[in-house]
Amino acid sequence: MIIPNNQFLSIDQVKDKFFTPAKEQPGAVNRDGLTFGEILEQKAEKSKELTFSKHAMNRLSERGIDLTGAQLDRLKDGAMRAQGKGIQESLVLVDDYAFIVNIPKNTVVTAMDATESSEHIFTNIDGAVIG
């Protein structure tokens, strides 16, 4: 854009002539038809979802661990309780299963049958929850 010399007396005149301010409208929708509040709510809900890392998925498969809906709910609840206490890496015990959960990322890092570990030692955790 070329602005002719000496045509404007102030920067406000240039601004008014060449720039149109973005208009903020309450309840404005994006291209998907969602308002900002709805998008924010969706993102917040998604961040609450407990995910499983690729490693954890492999461990579940290798070890034949098939969680019921109730067990998965208890695992999620345990992760939420750990978050409430400020835990970063949590051991969450659900029935005969042990899960290491990265709380800030809300991700199950690994899973095992609680009876599988002969030494019953879990490292690199800063809290444990019995779900």
Examine residue 89 and state whether it is found in any structural domain, yes or no. yes
Examine residue 44 and state whether it is found in any structural domain, yes or no. no
pTM: 0.65
| Total tally of structural domains belonging to the chain | 1
Q: Which domain holds residue 70?
A: 49-130
pLDDT digits (tens, 9 = 90+) for 41-65: 877 776 678 999 999 999 999 989 9
Examine residue 43 and state whether it is found in any structural domain, yes or no. no
Q: Contact at 8 Å (CB) between 39 and 30?
A: yes
- Please determine, for residue 33, whether its predicted confidence score (pLDDT) is greater than 60: yes
The CATH number assigned to the domain holding 87 equals 3.30.2310
- Please determine, for residue 67, whether its predicted confidence score (pLDDT) is greater than 80: yes
Examine residue 110 and state whether it is found in any structural domain, yes or no. yes
Dist CA 56 CA 13 (whole Å): 61
pLDDT digits (tens, 9 = 90+) for 78-107: 999 999 999 999 999 999 999 999 999 999
